[in-house]
Amino acid sequence: MDHFHYHNGELHAENVPLARIAEQVGTPVYVYSRATLERHAQVFREGLADLPSVHLAFAVKSNPNVAVLKVLKEQGFGADVVSEGEMRRALAAGIPAADIVFSGVGKTRRELAAALEAGIGQFNVESEEEGEELAALAAERGVTAPCALRVNPDVEAGTHAKISTGKAENKFGVPYDRAAEMFDRLARLSGMNLRGLAVHIGSQLQSLAPLEAAFSRMGALMEAIRAEGHHVTHMDLGGGVGVPYREGEQFPSPADYGAMVARVCKGWDVTLMFEPGRVITGNSGMLVTEVIRVKQGVTAPFVVVDAAMNDLARPAMYDAWHDFAAVRPTGDRLTASVVGPICESSDVFAKEREIDSVQTGDLAVFRTAGAYGATMANTYNSRALVPEVLVSGDRFAVVADRIEPAAILAAERVPDWL
Ligand code: LLP
């Protein structure tokens, strides 16, 4: 459920007509609904209500806007970060350092040091090499690094190959079969407080079965590690559940997920940690665009919009579906391809799809664009970096400016020897 709805024939975000935002801020523009973010945060938390000890860390990668982070901080979420930049954003939003988890396979020495100095709550260590480096950096500073060892459970997630992370051939985590001995070695290093395990097998999973298989394997590993005399007090179970992008798609709900976790992790006696991203932010955002023109094609017309693959990369990168809808629908329908202005054949949002009929100058939206949308935007073809707006009830605010090509040009130099 979200708080985008038609009122008097016009699409609104909460109580604000999208047309008003487009008029004042221009297009393309991402629009987020605070009430939807809050609702999704609450539904996810309620789904886990039966678990004894839970830590929620919002996956900042899905939407790192600092205002969005502030909304989630108010909902009691910590942050799962994968770079120093994301960590700085989480801190800027007021998320306590102790509630920050640092994941990622390529944390640099500088990032490890910065996170130690900030005093973050947990490092999810992805290799023995990283663990050794982190322990040494911590020991030099006279501190201990709270850590979980990320394990690759070698489970087929059944999602898009580009967002699957838990197969042996993926770069993430340490091999399952060697995890117990690595845990033993790393736990002995001074500077290291190895207190748990972490796992994440992929995003947008349609079924709970692969997650259940991965969590069961982690339970067995935890028992083996405990049998060696180690304390395991934290288990990080990775990202959230998937979200429907098109009508008819079915995904496990947070409540289904929570029930599975309660069953599989019964008696573990750990703090269970979660890093949901998409399930919180996905349906909380839309990309608003204006139709530049409708061009006749051989097999179907092309609706050319002012948003492009640089603003919303998911269709071009993962063949992802985003519903397209008119802001002021007439009731007429049209079969057309919706495309952006970029000079690439992959700059296509919808291929010969039945959509609301639109004409030059009309406003339209791509739905479910709040996760992995603005954050993956770039300036390809010297286009502007897309702005972001947050709506709350009757109010809205620009929470990220449009960065114009002139500003990007101003950051470039021609050396005097040219
Ligand atoms: N934790 C870890 C370690 C992750 O790698 C991810 C996502 C998450 C949590 C959050 O997963 P979520 O709850 O959002 O499913 N750009 C792609 C998605 C990449 C996801 C990468 N990792 C897309 O647009 O579909």
Catalytic residue among 343, 406, 410, 418: 343
What integer pLDDT is reported at residue 164 of this predicted model? 77
What integer pLDDT is reported at residue 319 of this predicted model? 96
- Measure the CA–CA gap between 174 and 169, rounded to whole angstroms: 11
In this structure, the residue with its CA closest to atom 7 of ligand 1 is: 203
Do the Cβ atoms of 116 and 143 come closer than 8 Å?
Answer: yes
Q: Which atom of ligand 1 is nearest to the CA of 282?
A: 14
* Ligand 1 midpoint to CA 56 (Å): 15
SS (H, E, C) 245-282: CCCCCCCCCHHHHHHHHHHHCCCCCCEEEECCCHHHHH
Pairing mode, strands 10-13 and 4-7: antiparallel
The annotation status of 32 as a binding-site residue, yes or no, is no
pLDDT tens by residue, the chain, 418 residues: 899 999 999 999 999 999 999 999 999 999 999 999 999 999 999 999 999 999 999 999 999 999 999 999 999 999 999 999 999 999 999 999 999 999 999 999 999 999 999 999 999 999 999 999 999 999 999 999 999 999 999 998 887 878 777 788 889 999 999 999 999 999 999 999 999 999 999 999 999 999 999 999 999 999 999 999 999 999 999 999 999 999 999 999 999 999 999 999 999 999 999 999 999 999 999 999 999 999 999 999 999 999 999 999 999 999 999 999 999 999 999 999 999 999 999 999 999 999 999 999 999 999 999 999 999 999 999 999 999 999 999 999 999 999 999 999 999 999 999 9
- Listed in order, strand segments (DSSP E) in 296-342 are 302-305, 324-326, 333-339
* Ligand 1 midpoint to CA 8 (Å): 37
Residue type, 326: A
302 ligand 1 Cβ < 6 A:
no
Q: Which atom of ligand 1 is nearest to the CA of 82?
A: 3
ipTM for the predicted complex comes to: 0.99
- Measure the CA–CA gap between 322 and 342, rounded to whole angstroms: 18
Long-range contact set of residues 333-339: C-beta below 8 Å, sequence gap at least 24: 333/357, 334/301, 334/303, 334/358, 335/300, 336/294, 336/300, 336/301, 336/302, 336/303, 337/297, 337/300, 337/301, 337/302, 337/303, 338/302, 338/303, 338/305, 339/302, 339/303, 339/304, 339/305
166 ligand 1 Cβ < 6 A:
no
314 ligand 1 Cβ < 6 A:
yes
Q: Which residue has the tokens 């501190």?
A: 143
Residue type, 196: G
Q: Which atom of ligand 1 is nearest to the CA of 275?
A: 9
Q: Given 2.40.37.10, 2.60.120.10, 3.40.190.10, 3.20.20.70, which CATH number is that of 4-32+282-410?
A: 2.40.37.10
343 is catalytic: yes
Mutate to test the pocket of ligand 1, among 60, 61, 287 (most ligand atoms within 8 A of CB): 61
Do the Cβ atoms of 124 and 148 come closer than 8 Å?
Answer: yes
What integer pLDDT is reported at residue 157 of this predicted model? 80
Structural domain spans, the chain: 4-32+282-410, 34-281
- Measure the CA–CA gap between 283 and 269, rounded to whole angstroms: 34
Nearest CA to 146 out of 155, 135, 157 is that of: 135
Same fold, 4-32+282-410 and 34-281: no
pTM above 0.95, yes or no: yes
What integer pLDDT is reported at residue 268 of this predicted model? 98
The annotation status of 277 as a binding-site residue, yes or no, is yes
59 ligand 1 Cβ < 6 A:
yes
* Ligand 1 midpoint to CA 13 (Å): 25
* Ligand 1 midpoint to CA 282 (Å): 11
Query: What DSSP character marks residue 205?
Result: -
62 ligand 1 Cβ < 6 A:
yes
* Ligand 1 midpoint to CA 248 (Å): 23
In this structure, the residue with its CA closest to atom 16 of ligand 1 is: 372
What integer pLDDT is reported at residue 167 of this predicted model? 82
219 ligand 1 Cβ < 6 A:
no
Query: What DSSP character marks residue 130?
Result: H
200 ligand 1 Cβ < 6 A:
yes
238 ligand 1 Cβ < 6 A:
yes
202 ligand 1 Cβ < 6 A:
no
List the structure tokens of 287.
């990309």
Q: Given 3.10.105.10, 3.40.50.720, 3.10.180.10, 3.20.20.10, which CATH number is that of 34-281?
A: 3.20.20.10
Nearest CA to 77 out of 103, 61, 96 is that of: 96
Q: Which atom of ligand 1 is nearest to the CA of 103?
A: 3
The annotation status of 185 as a binding-site residue, yes or no, is no
What integer pLDDT is reported at residue 204 of this predicted model? 93
